[in-house]
């Protein structure tokens, strides 16, 4: 799903947003948080970012909101959190009461520890974080501030760990198919894929349906057909050589499958110098 997102912040007349800076809440500095905020939506709220420079952790406390991204549209409910990775467009909005907290995290966080896809996670400490943020801004007692600060840091780390764990499956899946793409000449099976993924065949199928909206073997066929298109356009290799490079022992079987996929034989595809487009997902 392709959406067009620009940088906007819309706060309704009856809604309120309170910012927290490291100067006001010093623990944010050691957490690597450049800015945070508490938002109470009464009537309307919208925040959209195009290729943001920071990661953003969003924690929903009460009410609900909608989220749009390149991954689609979904809802965030009370006691849920989501981590928006830097560089990925997003928009979240509400036209009804919604209380939430957000933290802007440094871009320097290790990419390997960030989810590759957006996913809402259950986070049962959202209300506690909200109250801690309120108290940190009004209390004058140093001991209480230190206690609250340590608890805030711990809870934010827990929320991040939820997102990281949620993203690990997607990361492993993308790495798996990146490896497959480098060895398309091999005769891959679902058993081979699930072994490399360290999961059951059923679990692998669920991961693929969620990330790619297709089965594991269909994903491999997409990669084979895309590579075949590139080789047909960029080399003078024979059809037999190309078939072998993309995992088909029988060139006739390759030609049949290619024609099913692109509605053209490899020979006619090469003759017409057609640029690859979106993969055919009907086969």
- CA distances for 123 relative to 59, 60, 159, 161, 168, angstroms: 8, 9, 7, 11, 18
User: What confidence score (pLDDT) does residue 72 get?
Assistant: 79
117 closest CA partner among 192, 67, 59:
67
User: What confidence score (pLDDT) does residue 130 get?
Assistant: 94
Q: How confident is the model at residue 281 (pLDDT cuts 50, 70, 90)?
A: very low
DSSP assignments along the chain, one per residue: -------EEEE-TT-EEEEE-TTTSTHHHHHT-SEEEEEEESS-EEEEESS-SSEEEEEEEEE-EEEEETTEEEEE-TTEEEEE-TT--EEEEESS-EEEEEEEE-TTS-GGGS-SS---EE-TTHHHHHHHHHHHHH---HHHHHHHHHHHHHHHHHHHHHHHHHHHHHHHHHHHHHHHHTTTTS---HHHHHHHHTS-HHHHHHHHHHHHSS-HHHHHHHHHHHHHHHHHHH----HHHHHHHTT-S-HHHHHHHHHHHHSS-HHHHHHHTPPP-SPP---
Question: Per-domain residue ranges for the chain?
Answer: 8-167, 190-272
User: What confidence score (pLDDT) does residue 1 get?
Assistant: 38
User: For 124-161, what is each residue's pLDDT tens digit?
Assistant: 999 999 999 999 988 888 888 889 999 999 899 888 87
Mean pLDDT of 104-126: 73
CA angle 192, 194, 197 (to 5 degrees): 110
Residue 112 has pLDDT above 90, yes or no: no
Higher pLDDT, 163 or 89: 89
User: What confidence score (pLDDT) does residue 166 get?
Assistant: 52
Q: How confident is the model at residue 282 (pLDDT cuts 50, 70, 90)?
A: very low
> Distance (Å, rounded) from C-alpha 83 to C-alpha 105?
10
User: What confidence score (pLDDT) does residue 31 get?
Assistant: 84
Residue 239 backbone phi and psi in degrees, to 5? -60, -35
Q: How confident is the model at residue 279 (pLDDT cuts 50, 70, 90)?
A: very low
Domain 8-167: state its class. mainly beta
30 closest CA partner among 131, 105, 83, 85:
105
Average pLDDT, the chain: 86
Q: How confident is the model at residue 117 (pLDDT cuts 50, 70, 90)?
A: low
User: For 255-264, what is each residue's pLDDT tens digit?
Assistant: 999 999 989 9
Residue 111 has pLDDT above 90, yes or no: no
114 closest CA partner among 161, 153, 157, 73:
161
User: For 159-176, what is each residue's pLDDT tens digit?
Assistant: 887 665 555 566 678 778
Domain 190-272: state its class. mainly alpha
Residue 14 has pLDDT above 90, yes or no: yes
User: For 204-241, what is each residue's pLDDT tens digit?
Assistant: 998 899 888 999 999 999 999 999 998 998 899 999 99
């Amino acid at each position: 799903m392709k959406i067009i997102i620009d940088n906007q912040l819309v706060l309704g007349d009856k809604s309120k947003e309170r910012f927290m800076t490291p100067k006001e809440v010093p623990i944010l500095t050691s957490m690597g948080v450049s800015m945070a905020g508490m938002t109470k939506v009464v009537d309307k709220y919208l925040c959209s970012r195009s290729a943001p420079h920071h990661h953003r952790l969003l924690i929903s406390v009460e009410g609900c909101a909608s989220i749009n991204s390149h991954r689609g549209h979904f809802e965030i409910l009370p006691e849920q959190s989501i981590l928006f990775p830097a560089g990925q467009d997003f928009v979240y909005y509400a036209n009804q009461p919604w209380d939430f907290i957000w933290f802007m995290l440094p871009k320097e966080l290790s990419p390997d520890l960030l989810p590759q896809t957006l996913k809402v996670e259950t986070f049962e400490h959202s209300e506690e974080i909200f109250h801690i943020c309120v108290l940190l801004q009004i209390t004058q007692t140093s001991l209480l501030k230190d206690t609250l600060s340590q608890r805030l840091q711990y809870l934010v780390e827990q929320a991040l760990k939820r997102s990281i764990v949620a993203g690990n499956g997607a990361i492993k899946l993308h790495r798996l198919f990146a490896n497959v793409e480098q060895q398309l000449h091999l005769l891959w099976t679902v058993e081979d894929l699930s072994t490399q993924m360290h999961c059951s065949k059923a679990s692998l199928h669920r991961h693929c349906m969620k990330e790619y909206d297709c089965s594991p073997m269909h994903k491999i066929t997409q990669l084979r057909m895309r590579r075949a298109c590139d080789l047909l356009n960029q080399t003078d290799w024979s059809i037999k050589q190309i078939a072998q490079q993309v995992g088909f022992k029988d060139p006739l079987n390759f030609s049949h499958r290619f024609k099913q996929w692109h509605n053209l034989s490899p020979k006619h595809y090469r003759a017409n110098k057609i640029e690859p487009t979106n993969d055919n997902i009907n086969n």
